[in-house]
Copies of this chain bind each other. A is one copy, B any other.
Amino acid sequence: MPLSPDEPALPPLVRPTVQDAIRRDIIAGVLTPGARVTEASLAQRYDVSRVPVREALRGLESEGFIDSRPHVGSRVAAIPVHDADDLFAVREALEVSTARSAARRAAALYSGDESPEDWWRLRRQIAGLLDAGDAHVAAGDLDPLVGINDQIHIAIAELSGSATLTRLLRQLSWKIEWLYAADMQSRGKRLWPDHRVIVGAIDAGDGERAAALMAAHVRESRIGYLSRYGITRPSSDPEVAAAVRQQQGGAPDGARPGADTVGA
């Protein structure tokens, strides 16, 4: 397991903006879909002026968390639950690409073709996340696993070196996290051990294996969500749809095929 250059791995630079704060509150359910959010109220809430709030709203609008009409106002957007299957399908393609590219980059790295700065920092960060997740699994508290899970996937995307893919994946992750809403802390238990295997394939520089593993991993996550939240329409992927039916037959407790859009 190659992890040689060791230095104080400090985060590159991060500014906790108002946009991040609002987004977090939306995903956490503090700001419910359909709720009217005026610039003044948000400004008071986060103790800043209206200007940074406006900038945050524009950003969140282009991310799909806010619906805004000129001269009228802004509302928290509806949770895209009926897009869920499509979202997972796209996420599958995205993550498969990032995993493959990351592994290829690792191979190029070991052969000495390139040696970027960020690589080791990210690789070290992933190692830390894996260990932290293992500790939580061992301790039995699955709550933090959701966040750690997302961070690992994002870090793998960054490892691929594609800023565009990373950005798209980050947006998708936020949406999926929003879908999962609150109660979903148990999903990671089954899927957690996959991560270490995927990272292993990346380290080995085996692009196709990394891609295949990531595909299976994301797919299982997709099946888990759909079987739990019983979406109105069956999955577009026949295999996924079949797996969902099977899994729902075994545990039809949490399925709620009625609601299509969460509003307020």
A82 to B162, CA, bound (A): 8
**Contact: B64 with A63, CB < 8 Å?**
no
Give the total of A residues in contact with B, Cβ under 8 Å: 44
**Contact: A83 with B236, CB < 8 Å?**
no
The minimal Cβ–Cβ distance linking A237 to chain B, given in whole angstroms, is 10
A93 to B168, CA, bound (A): 13
**Contact: B86 with A90, CB < 8 Å?**
no
A122 contacts which chain B residues (CB < 8 A)? none
A162 to B87, CA, bound (A): 9
Beta-carbon contacts under 8 Å, A143-174 to B: 160-165, 167-168, 171-172
Q: Is A58 an interface residue (CB 8 A)?
A: yes
Binary flags per residue of A51-78, CB closer than 8 Å to B gives 1, else 0: 1001100110011100001100000010
The minimal Cβ–Cβ distance linking A106 to chain B, given in whole angstroms, is 14
Q: Which of A19, A58, A70, A167 gathers most chain B CB within 10 Å?
A: A58
Given A59-B62, A62-B62, A83-B165, 20 new contacts (CB under 8 A): A13-B69, A13-B70, A51-B54, A54-B55, A55-B58, A64-B164, A64-B167, A77-B163, A80-B162, A82-B162, A83-B162, A83-B163, A86-B164, A90-B90, A90-B93, A93-B94, A97-B236, A100-B236, A101-B236, A104-B233
* Pairs across A and B, CB under 8 Å, 27 listed: A15-B70, A19-B58, A54-B55, A55-B55, A59-B59, A62-B62, A62-B63, A64-B164, A77-B163, A80-B163, A80-B164, A82-B161, A83-B162, A86-B101, A86-B164, A86-B165, A89-B97, A90-B90, A90-B97, A92-B93, A93-B93, A101-B236, A164-B175, A168-B168, A168-B171, A207-B236, A211-B236
